A and B are shown apart, each in its own frame.
Chain A
Amino acid sequence: MYQILRKVKLAENIYLMDIHAPRVAHSAHPGQFVIVRATKEGERIPLTISDFDTERGSVQIVVQTLGVSTLKLCEIAEGECIEDFAGPLGRPSDFVYENVEDLKAKRLLFIAGGVGTAPVYPQVKWLHEHGVEADVIIGAKTKELLILTDEMRSVASNLYIATDDGSEGFKGMVTGCLKELVEVQGKHYDTVITIGPMIMMKFVALTTKELGIPTIASLNSLMVDGTGMCGACRVSVGGKTKFTCVDGPEFDAHEVDFDEAMRRSGQYRTEEQRRLERYKDHKCRIGLDK
Chain B
Amino acid sequence: MANIISRTPVREQEPATRAANFEEVCYGFNLEEAQREASRCLHCRNPRCVKACPVGIQIPNFIAAIAEGDLQMAANIIAEDSLLPSICGRVCPQESQCEGSCIVGIKNEPVAIGKLERFVGDWQLENGTAEKAVIEPNGKKVAVVGSGPAGLACAADLAKWGYEVTVFEALHRLGGVLSYGIPEFRLPKERIVEREIAKVERLGVKFEKNIIVGRTLTIDSLLDEEGFAAVFIGSGAGLPKFMGIEGENLNGVFSANEFLTRINLMGAYAPERFDTPVRRGEKVAVVGGGNVAMDAVRSAKRLGADAYIIYRRSEAELPARVEEVHHAKEEGVQFAMLTNPVAVVGDEKGWVRALRCVRMELGEPDESGRRSPVVVEGSEFELECDTVIMALGTSPNPLIASTTEGLERNRRGCLVASEEGATTREGVFAGGDAVTGAATVILAMGAGRKAAKAIHDYIRSTVDRQPTKSK
Contacts and interface: CB of A to CB of B under 8 A. Distances in A.
Interface stretch (A136-144, A163-171, A180-188, A223-231): A223-231
B159 to A, nearest CB: 23
B91 to A, nearest CB: 20
A27 interface: yes
Contacts of B171: 86, 225
A232 B251 CA distance: 10
B446 interface: no
A264 interface: yes
Interface of B: 170-172, 209-212, 215-217, 238-240, 242, 248-249, 251-252, 254-255, 257-258, 261-262, 266-267, 271, 273-277, 279, 349-350, 394, 397, 399
* Nearest 4 Cβ contacts at the A-B interface: A230-B258, A86-B210, A229-B238, A84-B172
A23 interface: yes
B78 to A, nearest CB: 31
Given A229-B239, A230-B240, A41 B210 contact: no
B212 A231 contact: no
Given A227-B397, A227-B399, 18 more contacts: A23-B217, A26-B217, A37-B172, A72-B275, A86-B210, A87-B216, A88-B215, A224-B262, A225-B171, A229-B238, A229-B257, A229-B261, A232-B254, A241-B249, A260-B350, A264-B251, A271-B277, A272-B277
Most buried by A among B252, B350, B394: B350
Given A43-B275, A230-B240, A246-B399, A27 B258 contact: no
Given A23-B211, A41-B275, A224 B266 contact: yes
A227 B213 CA distance: 10
A27 B248 CA distance: 35
Contacts of B209: 84
A43 B239 contact: no
Given A23-B211, A37-B172, A88-B216, A264 B249 contact: yes
B346 to A, nearest CB: 10
Nearest to A240: B244
A27 B217 contact: yes
18 contacts: A23-B211, A23-B217, A27-B215, A43-B275, A84-B209, A84-B210, A86-B210, A87-B215, A88-B216, A89-B212, A224-B266, A228-B239, A230-B258, A241-B242, A263-B350, A264-B251, A267-B252, A268-B277
Given A27-B216, A231-B254, A241 B261 contact: no
A235 B249 CA distance: 8
B368 to A, nearest CB: 26
B251 A229 contact: no
Contacts of B275: 41-43, 68-69, 72, 275
A202 interface: no
A24 B216 contact: yes
B238 A228 contact: yes
Contacts of B215: 27, 87-89
Contact of A41 (B262, B273, B349, B397): B273
Contact of A228 (B252, B267, B279, B397): B397
Contacts of A85: 210
Most buried by B among A69, A86, A88, A271: A86
A43 B170 contact: no
Interface in A230-248: 230-232, 234-236, 241, 246
A234 B271 CA distance: 25
A7 to B, nearest CB: 21
A26 B221 CA distance: 12
Contacts of A88: 215-216
Contacts of A234: 249
Contacts of B238: 227-229
A224 B249 contact: no
A94 interface: no
Contacts of B216: 23-24, 27, 86-88
B352 to A, nearest CB: 11
A267 B258 CA distance: 13
Contacts of B257: 229-231
Contacts of A266: 251
A83 interface: yes
Contacts of A235: 249
A69 B275 CA distance: 7
A260 B359 CA distance: 30
B198 to A, nearest CB: 18
Contacts of B349: 263
Contacts of A84: 172, 209-210
A23 B261 CA distance: 25
A20 interface: no
Contacts of A254: none
A44 interface: yes
B397 A229 contact: yes
A266 B212 CA distance: 28
Contacts of A41: 267, 273-275
A229 B240 contact: yes
A42 B251 CA distance: 23
Contacts of B271: 275
A248 to B, nearest CB: 14
A228 B249 contact: no
Given A27-B216, A86-B212, A236-B249, A224 B279 contact: no
Contacts of A68: 275
Contacts of B274: 41-42
A85 B276 CA distance: 17
Nearest to B210: A86
Contacts of B254: 231-232
A44 B397 CA distance: 20
B275 to A, nearest CB: 5
Given A41-B273, A268-B277, A230 B255 contact: yes
A187 B122 CA distance: 72
Contact of A267 (B251, B267, B394): B251
A231 B240 contact: yes
A41 B270 CA distance: 10
B249 to A, nearest CB: 6
Nearest to B257: A230
B216 to A, nearest CB: 5
A241 B170 CA distance: 24
A260 B239 CA distance: 22
A68 B276 CA distance: 10
B399 A224 contact: no
B193 to A, nearest CB: 17
A248 B117 CA distance: 46
Contact of B170 (A24, A72, A86, A232): A86
Nearest to A21: B210
A83 B209 CA distance: 11
